[in-house]
Amino acid sequence: MKRVMFVCKKNSARSQMAEGFAKYLGSGVIEVTSSGLEASSVRPEAIATMKEIGIDISRQTSKALKDFNAGDFDVVISLCGCGVNLPPQWLTRDIFEDWQLDDPAEQPEIFPRVRDEIRERVVKLLNILKKI
């Protein structure tokens, strides 16, 4: 089973939504967690936006990347363009992608759009992982 890490600056919105989708859609296919360059808290808007489509991320917590070992993960996905700030060992996993999605924390009205973009990308990622 592939292990996936979603990373964002503060692990408060985009990476939390990605973790929620991956757990919901990839159950039994992948193990998944998320983290941030720094830990903060899960944004209430992220929780509410996911709840609108029936996915509960209210029990997820914000975690710091430094608390994880890169060698424990096969796939690393940056959601905010922060890949340039990741330690090199995180960039050399089997799969590394930098999705560079807009930050809904800056514009809360875009939470639904960003959520839907994340869902599309997570589905594509899961399809790739099912084949390897």
Query: Token digits for 8?
Result: 């964002």
Spot the catalytic one: 8, 17, 75, 101. 8
Is residue 3 within 8 A of residue 69, CB to CB? The reply is no
What does the alpha-carbon distance between residue 28 and residue 43 come to, in Å, rounded to a whole number?
Answer: 27
| Euclidean distance between CA atoms 132 and 51, whole angstroms | 31
Residue 80 annotated as catalytic = yes
First-to-final CA distance of the chain: 10
Residues 55 and 28: beta-carbon distance below 8 Å? no
Q: Exactly one of 80, 101, 105, 118 is catalytic; which is it?
A: 80
Residue 82 designated active-site: no
| Catalytic annotation, residues | 8, 80
